[in-house]
Amino acid sequence: MFYLQIDDEISLKLLEKKEAPLFFQMTEQSRDHLRQWLGWVDYTRTLKDSKQFIKAALQKYEEMSDVVTLVWYRGTPAGSLALYDIKWNNYSASIGYWLVKGLEGNGIMSRACSGLISYAFSSLQLNRLELRAALGNKKSRAIAERLGFTNEGTLQQGEWLYDHFTDVVLYRMLAEEWKH
């Protein structure tokens, strides 16, 4: 099982089946906050939905195409951080994250991402990470920029969110650019 200690306060642990109630509760607690930017929120309406998501995530972990983790902050679940769509033939992957409402501004996700990026480049030997964030999602974009991701451009109407398209900024980080 995947576990990564980031610092004294933060760790990443592979999302497991037994954590489905916790994961669902975190989603419920932050539903309105997350829904503004993430298209999967409305597909997670019941505990069963969270169980199905975790089952699929664990299958992808076994296939080594995704690593979906819970972010733990001071012993409390704080959000989720994932390497997904790992393309071993291209040495690339995408990174995605969300934080429970009310925990923003503590540097939690920036530190967690920094640790996962180091893992991706050093342990997995990936060369390119991509991060996508809605153009209007200033907090998520600030994390990418703080970590040194390069803005490669805006994907016009790049994502469908419930009843409208939203523009998405595509960021990238190359292994040779990682300074941490």
List the domains of the chain with CATH numbers.
3-130 (3.40.630.30)
**Which of the four pLDDT bands, split at 50, 70 and 90, describes residue 180?**
low
Paired tokens of 19: 């954590």
Q: Please check the confidence at residue 42 and state whether its pLDDT lies above 80.
A: no
DSSP code per residue over 30-76: THHHHHTT-TTGGG--SHHHHHHHHHHHHHHHHTTS-EEEEEEETTE
pLDDT-above-90 percentage for the chain: 79
Answer positive or negative: Cα dihedral of 63, 18, 69, 2: negative
Considering the entire predicted model, what is its pTM?
A: 0.93
Q: Please check the confidence at residue 121 and state whether its pLDDT lies above 70.
A: yes
Give the Cα separation of 12 and 113 in Å (integer). 10
The single-letter code of the amino acid at 133 is: A
Q: Considering only CA atoms, give the Rg of the chain.
A: 15
What is the mean predicted confidence (pLDDT) over 77-84?
Answer: 96
Tokens 């640790």 sit on residue: 115
**Which of the four pLDDT bands, split at 50, 70 and 90, describes residue 117?**
very high
What is the mean predicted confidence (pLDDT) over 17-45?
Answer: 85
Rounded to 5 degrees, what are φ and ψ at 2? -80, 130
